[in-house]
Structures are given as structure tokens and as C-alpha cells.
Structure 1
Amino acid sequence: MTAFWVVAGIFIVVALLFVIPVLLRGKRNQSREQIERQAANITIYRDQLAELDRDLRDDTLSREQYDSSKQELQKRMLLDLSENGDPVATSFVSTGRYGVVAGVIVTLIIPLAAIYLYLVIGDTRGLLPQSQLANATQFAQNEAGGEEGHIDINSMVESLAARLKENPEDIEGWVMLGRSYAIMERFDDASATYAKLVQMVPDNPQFLSDYADMLAMINNGSLLGKPAEMITRALAIDPNFPKALALAGTLEFEQDKFDQAIIYWERLLGAIPADSKLYKSVSDSIEQAKSLAMRGKGESAPIQLTENSNVGTDVTEKSPSVEKQETSAGVPSISGSVTLDPSLADKISPSDTLFVFARASQGPKMPLAILRLNARDIPVSFKLDDNMAMTPAMKLSSFPEVVVGARISKTGQAIPASGDLEGHSAPVKIGDGDVSITIDHVVP
């Protein structure tokens, strides 16, 4: 900011150096012309007096005529000088009075008026460095409140969508629109946008993977069906594309094909930096898949002998329900209960669906885990864990704090719609087992 004012001051001084001398010089030039004109008049009067003296000596004029003519000439000279004033005094007055007034106006009033107008109607944030400007903008957005921020984002996204209707060949614009819809959790719109991109550029593995991801989001997190087709197409184009490998592993994991999931995720490890958070997350998923694969093969099912057994001992294997509980043991999770504000009780119908989900308190807004229940069961207990992750890179354990939300959907879709009922918890840490959520407002 200091540099700006220094540069602005230099420009003001330079501009005044061009303007003030011109004003002062104009006054001086005017005084000089007036002096020269009066000096010429005096010279003429002197010549006329000298001519009268010659005529008197030559007896051309009588004494009476000479005196009369001389008096007349002197009267005219005095009258002329009295009308024009003293040349020297006029020069000083003109130069002093008008020059000082003009200098004061130009030197002080105009620059001060310009600075005042800039401070009143200008944007002084433009004087801040880029880092401070970003912080100030972020602070202003936070002070403005979340609701107004959503309105601004919605208006910008709608403007972008309207512009793309006029210029449908703008691929970068479509990419930006799809990502914006995904961040806003408008997964139906995001899916339609990526479908457009896949149609425009059918051999791009990024667009195919993103399209599969959005299709899964509107399919309760399942990658079966059309999402699987998009993943297969993406890997056919680039067998080592990271997001396609991650989704392919998740698809196999969803179908309990743990060995295949391990193959995809191990290929993914070779395509990402070893010091990244994603690498650790995928490694944990691989260990989890290996553990489940061993259980599926019966390697972890211990043999228990009855106390009174003979040589032909009784063999008792653990029941599937017990095995499922052990599988979940040690998996990062979060649990609690969902209740409904009594003022909204009349807005629930038996066909409504309850979604309980967790997302990072800071970072991407995509759900890390999601659970589907019946709204008629409220109040209800829930538990979310890493086994419910959409992708290996986006699990509960990948973030230190999450926000747990509950939404009663009128449409049966996980995407929020106008008229849905919703509530959120404060940020909580992974492992918290007493999270309380009250559904207390209607989605506008």
C-alpha cells in the first residue's frame, strides 16, 4: 500500500509541474503585453507633444492654439493611463493574486478531491498484497454467513451453466461445472454434466472415472451397473489411471472379490507417491481386503473342541453374525443417535428415507460414509465406519474430524432436495461413540 501512495504522489507532482507553470506563465505573458501596449501609447503621446513644440517654433500654431492642443493631449494621456492602471502594479497583482489562487486550487484541492473520491467509491482492498487480499476475502465470506455464500455460489454456477448453453463446445467450462455440482452435492446435475463430457471426449479416462463416481453417488454408493462400464472403459484407455484403479478396486470389494480388489489397489500404489495420504489409505484398504479374503477362505475360522469330546471331536465354526462383528472390530468408526425436532413431526411420511452420512469438517464435501435407514424408525441409533467408504482415498480415518449429518429424503435419493428435513452435528473426532444429531430444519 505504501508503494502505491508513493507512486501516486510522484504522478501528482509530475502532473502539477506541467500545469502550474502554464498558469503562471499565462498571467505573466498577459502583464507583459499590457506593459508593452502602454509604453507604446506613452511614446506616441511624447511624439505628439514634440510635434506641437515644432509647430509652435515654426509659427504654424499660435500660443493659444498650442496651449489648447497640449492640454487636450495631456488630458487624453491621463485618461488612458487612469483606465489601464499602473503597469507595474497590475503586473504584480495579476501574477500574485491569480497565480496563487490557481496554484492552491490545482495543487491542493484537486488531488485531495481525487483521493477522497477513491476512498469513498473505490475498492481499497486492491492495495493489499495478494496473500492479505485472499485472507481478507475469506474473512469477509465467513462473516457474510453460510447461507449468503451458498446463494453466491449458486448464482455463479447458474451463470456458468447459462454461458455453456451459448457455447456448448467449451470443454473446460463443462469440467468446471461438473466439479462445482459435485462440491455442491448436486450429483444428478454432476452426472449429467460428465455424461456430456464423455460424449464430447469419449477417450478421456478422467471424464469416464468422474462419470462413474457421480453415477455411484446417485446409486447409494454402488458402482454396479453403468458405473462399472465407465470404469472398464477408462482402464481400457489407460490401465494405470489412478482414479479408475481406485474405483475398480472398490467395485471388486463391493462384490466381495477381495483378491481382485487387492490387485487393482496394489497397481494403484505404483502410480501414486509413497509419502502421500492416499498411499497410506490405499495400503490400509489392501490390508483390510487381505484380512477379509483370508476369512472368506476359512483361514481365520478357529476350531474349537468341546470339553467332553472323544477322538471324534466336535468342530464348531463361528456363526456369520459373529464373524461380521469381528470383521468390524478395530475398524475406525463413529456412532450415535438421530432424533427429530417435535415441531417437524407432522412433516414425515412412512415412505420417507433416512440417510446418515459423515463428511470432512474441512475439505471435500463428498460423503466419507453413508447409511440408509427408514425414517419411521426415528429415533434411531447408527454406526458409520471405514467399511462404508465410497473410495479407498475417502474414508473416515483419512480425516481427523468429521461432521455427521442426517437427512430425511422425500425422494428416496441421497441428494438433498427442497423440502427434505436435515440436521448436523458439530465437528467430532473419529472414534466418538456418543454423537447426537437432531433433525431440526427444512432444506430450502
Structure 2
Amino acid sequence: MRMPRSRSMNWIDRRLPVCCRGDSGMELNIFVVVGVVLLLVVLGAILVPLLRRPEEEGAGGSQSQRALNLLVLRDQLADLERDLKEGRIAEAAYRQAREELERRALDHVAEAPRQASAGGRQTLLALALMIGVPVTVGALYWTLGVPASVAPASQVAAPQDGEHSLSQEQILAMVERLALRLQENPSDGAGWLMLARSYAVLGRYPESAAAFSRALGMLPPDAQHYADFADIVAMTQSKRLAGEPEKLVRRALEIDPQNIKALALSGTIAFDRQDYSQAISEWRKVLERLPAQSPVAAGIQGSIRDAENRMAIAGQQNAAPLVSKDEVPAAVARVEGIIELDPALRASIKPDDTLFVFARAVDGPKMPVAMLRARAGELPLRFKLDDSMSMAPQFKLSSVAQVVVGARVSKSGDALARPGDFEGLSVPVPVGAGNVKIVIKSTVR
């Protein structure tokens, strides 16, 4: 479940100035320079995966840029260490600058989930997109003591993939150091939040949930934090959102009824209960808050279609009930016609394949208002649809004025459309039409 956010990022010249050497204003300059670098790293890690579909995302480009960003970060931190060693900065000022950098890192990381918080249904439990930054970036701030000497970033043309990247062992060590630091300073709510997300990236969900619980007890109420916590608790119980995760989602929506991730998860909770009407309603709210061309929006739309299809089979009423100003008298509420098969498809269809003929409203949900079942071997088939073939008492052919009539040959026998099925659709026709012709000629993708 699944994200409205700014999708642009100005490129920052990596040839950043070194920190000022004088005492006056030196700490502020250190903060500004490294803060900009940290912001670049955070935004790069978040926006690149979100803005590119997987097939469009080159494996090498993002890895190289991340390596370059880490190189710049190490260079700036090395300058700070060098200033301390050469006596240009006092120990107290050094510690203060270092602590401020760490705090800024946590502030940036805390913003990351908000920028990535609208996952599609595949995202809904998978919204690990929102927690992928902290381990790589945040752990650096907490653990780098004296960085290895590196060449100035301006001398690096194109670092090879893998250079300057962190090994799994290094990441684990950094996270453990963060945990130890929090034992010494257990009142650091932002630190516990950071640790929770880091554990989540490592797949250590019980520990992540425990850290989230500590963080939420210290930080001001935040809908995004509760939605993230719900996601993690669900991972500890086989990805099920029932129970405690659902309570956390409800709490998130109490704080912010517009929170995208909470709405998306709420839709998944309804879907899992087979309350497809409610699921569709929640996911439509998510769509209203996403850019139309967003890959996440496409995922949400797919989830809505899935719910509509399942609702059609279950005979439930859609979240947006269809009310027609031109209801047709039941006595004339019928549609008749003939269904033919494109000769090019004859070799691909077996006589015992299932044939579904259905009518659905032109303006409204995809749930059929009438449906009949036959065999593909009966083609060409003359058909008649009426109120006796409705899927639900409140959802009949006589309740609408215009319909699209469709015919689908199902290889699986399932009324839900599957890739490899064959179908054909009519143009919109008025209820009462008696000469509708449908040719099955397209393949469901």
C-alpha cells in the first residue's frame, strides 16, 4: 500500500570545500558542509529506487554513485579528524561537532520514510523501501572513528562498483555499536527509531519491533512511525496484519487520516478479511494522493482490480454503489446477442474450456451485473442476460442504463481473468439491446 513527494533533486557538485581552518565559525561550516553531503546520500538512496522501475535501473550506475557519495563523506569526516589531530580544533569542539553530525543524520533518516511511504499493495507489507537508508548511512555516523585515508573526491573519475562499500560484517558491527550507544543513552528516542529501522533492514524483526516500541514511547505521536511499526510487527507474525498491527494502523490513521502507508495497510487488512469493498475504498484514497504515472500507483491500481474481481466472485457490493437515474424495468432488463470466436484462435481453444459471458455497467465498478457460464465448444453462441443472472440482489442488470458485454474463454475455469485467457468486449450498449455481437479475439496479458 502504497506517494506525493518532490521527485526532483538538484545535483550537488561533489567537489565540496574543506572545512574552515580558523576557530571562528568553524563548527558551523563543518555542520553545513557535511550536512549537505549527508542529505545527498540520503536523497540518492531513496529517490533513485523510487523513480526508476527495476528494468530501467542500471545495476552499475546507482552502485557507482553510492560509492562516490560514501567516498565524499569519508573525505569530509577525515578532514574533521585531521583538524583534531593537528590541533586546529579542540577536543570539546570536535565532540560537539561529531554529535551534531550524528543528530543531523538521524533527522534526515527520520524524514526518509515520509518520502517513500506510499507503496502499492506489493509494497504494502514490502515497504522496506522506506527503511533501506539507515544502515548504510546512519551507521557510518555512529561508528566511523578515524576513516581510512582517501583521495579527494575531485580526483575520482568513476569508482568501480563495490569500492568503498560496506561489507555485511561492517554493517552488523555498526548496528551493534549503535545498540551499545543506546544502552548508554536510553532516552534517545530518535536513536531507537534509527536502530529499529536498521534491524528491519537486516531482517531482525523481533528486535526491530522492540526498538520501535521504545522509540514510540519517547517521540511525539507520528502517524508514519505507527504505520512503520505495524509493518514490522506484521513481519514477526508471518506478514499477517491482524491483531496488534491492525491496532497500530488504526492509531496511525487517528493521528493522520491521510497517511498514505497507513491507508495502504488498512486496505490490505480489509482485503485479508475479504472485505473487498472496504479495501477498494482505502486504496482509492491512496491513489488520490499519488502522481498518476507513479509505479506505486500502478501497483495500487492492480490491487484494486484484484479486489474488484474477487468481489465479483463473492457477490459483494462495491465501495461506490452504483445508483442509476435511469433504472430499466425488470421486464425489459435483458441483453441478447451472439458470441463468435476469431478463426485464428480455434487451435488454441479446447471444447471443454469454460466460457463466461457477462455484462457490467459502463459507469461503475467492474463487478458484473449479470453472468452466465457455458462451454467453449458451444461457440458461436447466442446468449441472453437478465436479472436472474445477477451476482447480488442489489446489483442487477435492471439497475443500470448501459453496459459493456464481454465474453471470456477461461483455461482454468476461474471467473477471474488470467493471463492466457481469450476475450472480447462489446461497445457500450443500452440495457434492452437484442443484437449485440462479440468476437473473442484478444489474449489476456
| TM-score, structure 2 normalization | 0.39
Query: Radius of gyration: which is bigger?
Result: 1
| TM-score, with length taken from structure 1 | 0.39
Higher RCO, 1 vs 2 (CA within 8 Å, ≥6 residues apart):
2
Structure 1 or 2: more helix by fraction:
1
